[in-house]
Amino acid sequence: MARDGTVLRVGGQEIRLTTPGRVLYPVSGTTKSQVVAYYVEVASAMLPHLLGRPATRKRWPEGVDGPAFFAKDLEPGTPAWLGRVQVQDNGPKFYPVFETPAGLAWLGQVSALELHVPQWRFGAPTRPVDATAFPHVGWPDRVVFDLDPGPGAGLRECVEVALLLRDRLGRLGARSVPVTSGSKGLHVYVPMDDPITSKSASDWAKLVAEQLEKALPDLVVSRMAKSLRARKVLVDWSQNFAVKTTIAPYSLRGRERPTVAAPRTWDELAEPHLRHLELPEVLERLRGGLDPLSALHSPPAVAAIFGAGTQKASGPSMRRTRLPTTTQRPHRAAAMRRTEVGVTSLSAGLAGPITVELARAEERIPGPHAMPGGSRYEPKWDGFRGSLQIGNGSARLWSKNGTEFCR
């Protein structure tokens, strides 16, 4: 990252940084420019867990001592190069999708300290499935258990519950990763290898939470009523609903000090003085090569073959692991789904954009049965993909991210 006056150049993009010396965390003296630098430096560790997920931001324009508000859809002044996707959230809206270090730097510029994302990604799952059996557009690739301590409980009690959770999940638990939330409790991320719906994921998480409550009724509660939480840890399974979001790993928190939702090792959880980590400590860990969440999913062995006619894969491939499931049938998510607009349904105003088909990295070439109508392949060339909409004597050209090139 180079700085030229108040213009930052990050990965080929220019970001105008206003009031770089504004103090956003008065207790620690952390400034806006330091927040921007943090998000740029953690980008390589943070972005893999953001790709393909519509993001909600929580902003503190005057610093953490001032008022805060959530920003969901894109606001005026959002850079045209920032990734975006159209979702249904009380009507069609464009949400940002963070794909580059420049996008994360922009978060700091607008004092968006916190970034919240769902547990599902847009696009096809890593393995083909029967679309009629799974009528869902966003596919969870992980389940999160939010361990929230009630009055009289704290981080140490959350650790006790997390360890029980890990042991109960067996081999899958061994692959799970704890995250100190930077606020009060812990998050435990569990990889989902087989294609599932958000409904199936939340049903399974609820079942696990109820079993934990039966095992430790004096410490664990799986029901949401606040009257039940005294001296107990709520295992919040509802964070896996399609409409819910959770603080993203490596996101800052808008607390008194610049704490971070920091991935941890299981060995760290056994330390007697475990606490939430702050911005400088997280940077020091990453500089030393410590990124516990990097192993949540297995990376693909080969990424040289690309399949056309499918949505671009949003993350690494996943090993197949059979999970405990409920007998509930999957249902379509009630909100936050991608809008598919067919050419024949375009209005006279050519509202657009339509969905652009992207290449997807494949480890191997599947047989013709793997994709509806067979499959075909092409190299992925550098350049731009877009959608051209023509009708009623006019035309509009859109990028794959929904940005209008010309009209």
Q: What is the pLDDT along the chain (407 residues), one digit of tens a residue?
A: 555 458 889 988 999 999 999 999 999 999 999 999 999 999 999 999 999 999 999 999 999 999 999 999 998 889 999 999 888 777 788 999 999 999 999 999 999 999 999 999 987 555 555 545 444 457 899 999 999 999 999 999 999 999 999 999 999 999 999 999 999 999 999 999 887 899 999 999 999 999 999 999 999 999 989 999 999 999 999 999 999 999 999 999 999 999 999 999 999 999 999 999 999 999 999 999 999 999 887 533 322 222 222 233 333 222 323 333 333 323 323 333 333 333 333 344 445 555 666 665 555 545 444 444 444 444 554 566 677 766 556 677 767 666 666 55
Distances (CA, A) of 285 to 71, 247, 272, 299, 350: 30, 20, 19, 22, 50
Domain ranges for the chain, please list them: 2-295
Partners of 362 in beta bridges: 305
- pLDDT score of 316: 28
Q: Is residue 81 within 8 Å of residue 29, measured between CB atoms?
A: no
Token duo for residue 397:
């050209």
Token duo for residue 137:
């557009």
Token duo for residue 273:
């003085």
Tell whether the torsion through CA atoms of 226, 228, 233 and 234 is positive or negative.
negative
- pLDDT score of 395: 72
- pLDDT score of 175: 94
Query: SS3 for 80?
Result: coil
Where is 396: in which H helix or E strand?
Answer: strand 394-399
CATH number listed for the domain at residues 2-295: 3.90.920.10
- pLDDT score of 354: 59
Residue type present at position 50:
L
Q: Is residue 390 within 8 Å of residue 317, measured between CB atoms?
A: no
Give the closest residue to 111 by CA, choosing from 62, 51, 46, 177: 62
Token duo for residue 293:
């969440």
Q: What is the pTM of this model?
A: 0.72
Give the closest residue to 336 by CA, choosing from 38, 49, 72: 72
- pLDDT score of 206: 97
Q: How far apart are the first and last CA of the chain?
A: 34
Give 3-state DSSP helix, strand, coil % of the chain, rounded to 5: 25, 25, 50
Q: Is residue 146 within 8 Å of residue 187, measured between CB atoms?
A: yes
